[in-house]
Amino acid sequence: MKFENAIVIDADRETVWREFDNVDNLQKWQPTLQSFTLKSGTASEPGAVSEMVYDEGGRTVVMLETLTEKRQPSFMAGIYESDWSKAVIVNHFESLEGGRTRWVIYANHNFKAMMKVLGIFFRKSIGRRTQSFMEHFKLFVESKIADEKQ
């Protein structure tokens, strides 16, 4: 199941990248993220493997993130595996006029076992959750910039 989500952030690409690439910021814009634990490699570098634990409406979801490629400040890709799916996710950051940045997420989810059948019913919720995380990130970055200007 393929998805594409996009958002424009009122901040330059270098600022957006700096905040996105900082694992200490994850819980600031992913409200359901309970923990992020580096398992191997160097954090935020290709080859790094991390465990991400989410609370999805009272249900614990454990995801293993493996970063596969990174081209600062425009591109980061990884593989995200849980008990019910494996997803390849690509984040692309494009500079726009006026010091703004367009962030696009391309995702390809492959469901496992019974979720292959049930996954079709989750299509809209997966897309909405991704867009919600992107909106939280936009608010986080733009609020941080506003606070720094004061």
pLDDT, residue 150, reads: 66
Are the C-beta atoms of 77 and 89 separated by less than 8 Å? Answer: yes
pLDDT tens readout for residues 59-95: 999 999 999 999 999 999 999 999 888 999 999 999 9
- pLDDT, one tens digit per residue, over 2-32 is 889 999 999 999 999 999 999 999 999 999 9
What's the average model confidence in pLDDT over 126-139? 90
Tokens 């609370």, residue located: 55
What tokens does 141 get? 């970055």
- Calculate helix-pair angle for 123-149, 13-20, nearest 10 degrees: 110
- Domains contained in the chain, CATH given: 2-149 (3.30.530.20)
Question: Structure pTM?
Answer: 0.89
Res 104 pLDDT > 80: yes
Tokens of 31: 């409200």
Query: 79 - beta bridge partners?
Result: 66, 88
Give the helix/strand (H/E) hosting 137.
helix 123-149
Q: Tell me the per-residue pLDDT of 115-124, one tens digit each, with 9 for 90 and over.
A: 555 555 555 6
